[in-house]
Structure 1
Amino acid sequence: MKNHERFIVISVFAVLVFAWLGFLLHTSPRFAGSGWGAVFGIAGAVLMLIPLGYVFVKRIPFLKERIAKHVSLQTWLSIHIYTGIVGALLALIHTGHKFVSPLGIALTAAMLLVVVSGIVLRYLTPFVNVDMKDKLLLLQTARGDLDHAWGLMEKAAAGKKGLPPEASLTAGMVSLGLLTAPDNSAGQVTVLAEGVADLEYSIRTHELLKRWFSGMLTLHIIVSIAFYALLVAHIISGIYFGLRWLS
């Protein structure tokens, strides 16, 4: 997704995340059942049903084979994101900041959780994956340099049997940019070893984040299923009580 598109999505997302707090300042008990309230509610519900198209195209081979040739999955994903987040914003306006019924509260909470988890997965997961690949390549190079420097140190003069006492301090100052890398083999080994250790720690952290994002994807799917079930229940209850009111 291009930078300006990302900016638009993040901006609408920020409005959505903070808009639900409007009930602290404003409440309109009658808006949800009014004509304009119904317009916002129906429009929001329709827009939030459209994201299912991406799920069907991606998961059903029959549809993927025929539709993806004309409209790419990336385009479907963009539609999935835009309609989902705009639909959620319209649905939040539909509430009029009136959170009274358990069904309405649960539906709003599920909707916000689906949007938040989806945005996190869309924008943070790619950065983690790319950064992981770069660091794995860098780690291979660093290990090769470390092996080479270690071999040079073993072949050094007979008086150099180990690392000098100041090696750790030198390596730390080099890592902070206060000194340039020392010329002696022991110092080079120390700097490279600390660099390899830092990369390995960073990679382990990224692996932990990948497992966390995998759990986030599972949560996104489960909460989405719950959200659509609550949405159907909300629509049915609205029709039922609406017909009773008309009668």
Structure 2
Amino acid sequence: MTRSEKVIVEGLLSAMALTAPAFLFHSAPRFPGSLPGSVLGIAAALLFVALLTYTLVKRQGRVKALVTGRVSLGQVLTFHVYAGAIGAVLGVLHSGHKLENPLGIGLMVSMLLVVASGFVGRYFLVELGQDLRDQQRQLSVLRDRYDSLALAAAGLKDELVVDPSGLRMDHLLGAISDLEFAIGARDTLKRSLNGWVVIHILAAIVMYTLLSLHIWSGVYYGLRWLP
């Protein structure tokens, strides 16, 4: 994910998060079935169906060859990210801040899990991995500097050995200890989040199942805005 993608997606997710308090202070039970509410719901549903494009392109060799001849897989993934974030925002707006039944609640929760787990895998873990690599490089440099100072101090007594940058051995040792702790904490977090793809897939299966039931119930019970 590029920096611009990150900013846009974070903005969309922030907009979605900011609508959460509205569930406590505002409710429009008839809005989802109205014309504007239905337009939002249909748009959200179409975007979530469009998310399957990435899976199809990635898993089906013939489709991949056909599509990637025109656009890159990275561009398809970018569309996947944008469609998921925008679809989630539209889905929250479509709800009218009123979830009256288990179907609606389950659909909302699974939708948010799909978006959140996708964001973790697409951006957060990538950033975390890059941070870990940077810190490991820093740790290697600090250890080399400490080893050099320790070797220089081996034959000296009661003399203070200082690194060319001005750091003493005890300062280097403290910096190494702090960095090792930070690396350990980040590595633990990274390993705990490595199962994001399982959560993402399971949440998507639940979401598409509930979305199908939601669409069926809307058609079965009628759309109020139709003549």
CA contact (8 A) 1:103 1:234 kept: yes
Q: Any residues of structure 2 matched to 1:1-247 within 5 Å, and which?
A: 1-157=1-157, 180-181=166-167, 188-242=168-222
Number of residue equivalences: 221
Equivalent residue of 2:206, what SS?
helix
Task: Quote how far apart the aligned CAs of 1:140 are.
Answer: 2.1
Task: Quote how far apart the aligned CAs of 1:38 are.
Answer: 2.0
1:89–1:153 CA distance, 2 compared to 1 (3 A): same
State the distance in 2 between where 1:107 and 1:72 align: 31
CA contact (8 A) 1:44 1:87 kept: yes
Task: Quote how far apart the aligned CAs of 1:58 are.
Answer: 2.4
1:137–1:109 CA distance, 2 compared to 1 (3 A): same
Computing the radius of gyration over CA atoms, which structure comes out larger, 1 or 2?
A: 1
State the distance in 2 between where 1:37 and 1:201 align: 50
Q: Tell me which amino acid in the other structure corresponds to 1:10.
A: E
CA contact (8 A) 1:17 1:112 kept: no
State the distance in 1 between where 2:206 and 2:222 align: 24
TM-score normalised by length of structure 2 = 0.84
State the distance in 1 between where 2:36 and 2:4 align: 31
1:109–1:69 CA distance, 2 compared to 1 (3 A): same
1:191–1:61 CA distance, 2 compared to 1 (3 A): farther
Q: For the aligned residues, what is the CA RMSD? A: 2.6
Task: Quote how far apart the aligned CAs of 1:3 are.
Answer: 4.0
State the distance in 1 between where 2:151 and 2:3 align: 47
Q: Tell me which amino acid in the other structure corresponds to 2:217.
A: S
Task: Quote how far apart the aligned CAs of 1:37 are.
Answer: 2.3
Q: Which moved more, 1:97-106 or 1:218-227?
A: 218-227
State the distance in 2 between where 1:217 and 1:3 align: 22
Task: Quote how far apart the aligned CAs of 1:79 are.
Answer: 0.5
State the distance in 2 between where 1:133 and 1:23 align: 41
State the distance in 2 between where 1:45 and 1:212 align: 31
CA contact (8 A) 1:128 1:210 kept: yes
Task: Quote how far apart the aligned CAs of 1:4 are.
Answer: 4.2
Task: Quote how far apart the aligned CAs of 1:208 are.
Answer: 0.9
State the distance in 2 between where 1:225 and 1:4 align: 30
Q: Which has the higher contact order (CA 8 A, sep 6+)?
A: 2
Q: Tell me which amino acid in the other structure corresponds to 1:198.
A: D
TM-score normalised by length of structure 1 = 0.78
Q: Tell me which amino acid in the other structure corresponds to 2:195.
A: G
What 5-or-longer segments of structure 1 have no aligned partner?
Answer: 168-179, 182-187
Equivalent residue of 1:31, what SS?
coil
Between the aligned residues of both structures, percent identity stands at 37
What 5-or-longer segments of structure 2 have no aligned partner?
Answer: none
